[in-house]
Amino acid sequence: MASARLFLRKEAFWKVKNGYRSFSNFNNCVMSAKHTNNHHKLAALSFREMYDIRSNIQHLIKDYSSYDVPKIDWAFLMQHKPPLKDNEQYFLTIKTLNILLTLTCHRLAALQELPYIALVNPNIEQSNRLYLKTLESLLSIEYPYDLYDTAKMQNLTKEFLNDHQDTLLTLSNGLQEISNFYDHEKIFKFLNNHLHDRILMKLLTTNYLELLKQDENTRDKIGVIHKDLHISDLVLRTNEFVNDLTFIKYDKTVPVKIMDGADVKFSYIPTDLEYVLQEVLKNSSRAHIENNVEREVEVTIVKSYEQLEIRIRDFGGGINPQVEDLIFDYSFSTTEKDAKDTGMSAYILPGQEVQNVAGMGFGLPMCKAYLELFNGTLDIQSLWGWGTDVYIKLQGPSNKLFVR
């Protein structure tokens, strides 16, 4: 086992400022957790046993939360190409689980640093319990044997995705409930970091699962990254979904017109771009419908080498100057469903509660976070009384990264 630890440490864990980490706290936590779950009821533990377990877990959280996550760029996601050889799958599994463990501890440490009023809030406490469950799941892995069990690793990562699917809704409800008692800037910073880590965790997990499924016949994608994605088709498909929402809400739909770039193809993660397009088109559609504008939303697509720019232009009257500075902020005051012009939620189409996160205005901040992960940008230019232009700029992977 000692040689296995050294092998894992040497080959799979990134270097931190003070050198490669020790495995002692990790193994102590694993043994303590297993000892508790399999051989004792919680009530039967002595004070010393309980103290040791809590202390070991807390040391691990503190240890891992102090580490930086390696840069997750296109090269990182595409370093392993399908079909994976056994050793490639082994290393990919270690890297993915180790980063998930680090990000989980980042979130647990951040939650524990919130003030007491937040920690006793039922919704925030539920989020904390969920991340503790994820930590327990990661610590339950038998190293190195479980790393070779593909089915077990798939089930573990799928469970992680299911568990964290709606975590923003729960957390946002809790933060909204304490927003009158906690500094807005601190909440904003907490949410920015939370969104970033949450997006990374989902990206790494979905990319890992996709790579495990792909074989030598998979030609058009590597992990979650699709080569030559047809952008205008994605825009039109996304608008069909948005029209379903507007039809339910308003009994109306808003068409989209591709002004230029109908044939453009670009390499990117379709689910990420689809989310961004969906949020922007929802805002534009709502503006058109509520201002009785009978014309299409115009979309222009321009590609230049490994860069793509999408302009979405609507004629829905623009953004009120009184709230224009808040469009990338989180709204914590719009608790009433009929609230108007109070932060970004005033420009979000009511539809799916999870996506809108209880009206707290997560739409555009999340779009910005998705794009900035790969050096993209989201810019908005609005002319009050006329309309709004949204510029989505993407930096895609180099073609050479697709070479197998």
Q: Answer yes or no: do 182 and 250 share one domain.
A: no
List, for residues 33-82, the tens digit of each pLDDT value. Answer: 444 454 445 556 677 777 777 788 888 899 899 999 999 999 999 999 99
Mean pLDDT, all residues of the chain: 82
List, for residues 88-140, the tens digit of each pLDDT value. Answer: 999 999 999 999 999 999 999 999 999 988 889 999 999 999 999 999 899 88
Q: Find how far residue 99's CA is from the centre of its chain.
A: 14
Contact 140, 33 (CB under 8 A): yes
Higher-confidence position of 136 and 300: 300
- φ, ψ of residue 325 to 5 degrees: the values are -70, -10
What's the token pair of residue 144? 């190195």
Higher-confidence position of 334 and 60: 60
Q: List the single range of 20-24, 98-102, 141-145 with lowest mean pLDDT.
A: 20-24
* Domain housing 270: 225-336+357-401
Q: Which of 170, 198, 219 lies at the terminal end of a domain, its last residue? A: 219
Among residues 268, 189, 275, which one has the least CA distance to residue 237? 275
Q: List the single range of 17-26, 195-204, 293-302 with lowest mean pLDDT.
A: 17-26
Higher-confidence position of 275 and 38: 275
Q: Answer yes or no: do 272 and 212 share one domain.
A: no
Whether the pLDDT of residue 384 is over 90: the answer is yes
Whether the pLDDT of residue 347 is over 50: the answer is no
What's the token pair of residue 94? 């270690």
Whether the pLDDT of residue 15 is over 70: the answer is no
- pLDDT (0 to 100) of residue 361: 56
Q: Answer yes or no: do 187 and 249 share one domain.
A: no
Whether the pLDDT of residue 334 is over 80: the answer is no
Q: Answer yes or no: do 94 and 239 share one domain.
A: no
The three-point CA angle 370-164-271 to 5° equals: 35
Whether 201 is covered by a domain: the verdict is yes
- pLDDT (0 to 100) of residue 344: 36
Domain of 110: which CATH number? Answer: 1.20.140.20
Q: Answer yes or no: do 273 and 320 share one domain.
A: yes
Q: Answer yes or no: do 199 and 273 share one domain.
A: no
- pLDDT (0 to 100) of residue 119: 84
What's the token pair of residue 305? 């080498």
- Per-residue confidence band for 200, with pLDDT thresholds at 50, 70 and 90: very high
Average pLDDT rounded to a whole number, residues 179-190: 84
Whether 42 is covered by a domain: the verdict is no
Contact 331, 341 (CB under 8 A): no
Whether the pLDDT of residue 148 is over 70: the answer is yes
**Alpha-carbon span 308 to 265, nearest angstrom:** 9
**Alpha-carbon span 20 to 16, nearest angstrom:** 6
Q: Answer yes or no: do 237 and 364 share one domain.
A: yes
Q: Answer yes or no: do 96 and 194 share one domain.
A: yes
Q: Answer yes or no: do 238 and 210 share one domain.
A: no
Q: Answer yes or no: do 234 and 212 share one domain.
A: no
Average pLDDT rounded to a whole number, residues 191-219: 93
- pLDDT (0 to 100) of residue 330: 67
Q: Which of 191, 219, 247 lies at the terminal end of a domain, its last residue? A: 219
**Alpha-carbon span 367 to 285, nearest angstrom:** 17
Whether 10 is covered by a domain: the verdict is no
Domain total in the chain: 2
Average pLDDT rounded to a whole number, residues 301-307: 94
Domain of 281: which CATH number? Answer: 3.30.565.10
Q: Answer yes or no: do 166 and 309 share one domain.
A: no
Q: Answer yes or no: do 237 and 194 share one domain.
A: no
Contact 53, 36 (CB under 8 A): yes
**Alpha-carbon span 19 to 34, nearest angstrom:** 29
Q: Which of 219, 248, 281 lies at the terminal end of a domain, its last residue? A: 219
Higher-confidence position of 197 and 41: 197
Whether the pLDDT of residue 362 is over 80: the answer is no
**Alpha-carbon span 98 to 104, nearest angstrom:** 10
- pLDDT (0 to 100) of residue 173: 81
Contacts of 119 (CB under 8 A, 6+ apart): 111, 112, 125, 128
Average pLDDT rounded to a whole number, residues 23-32: 43
- pLDDT (0 to 100) of residue 172: 80
Higher-confidence position of 137 and 301: 301
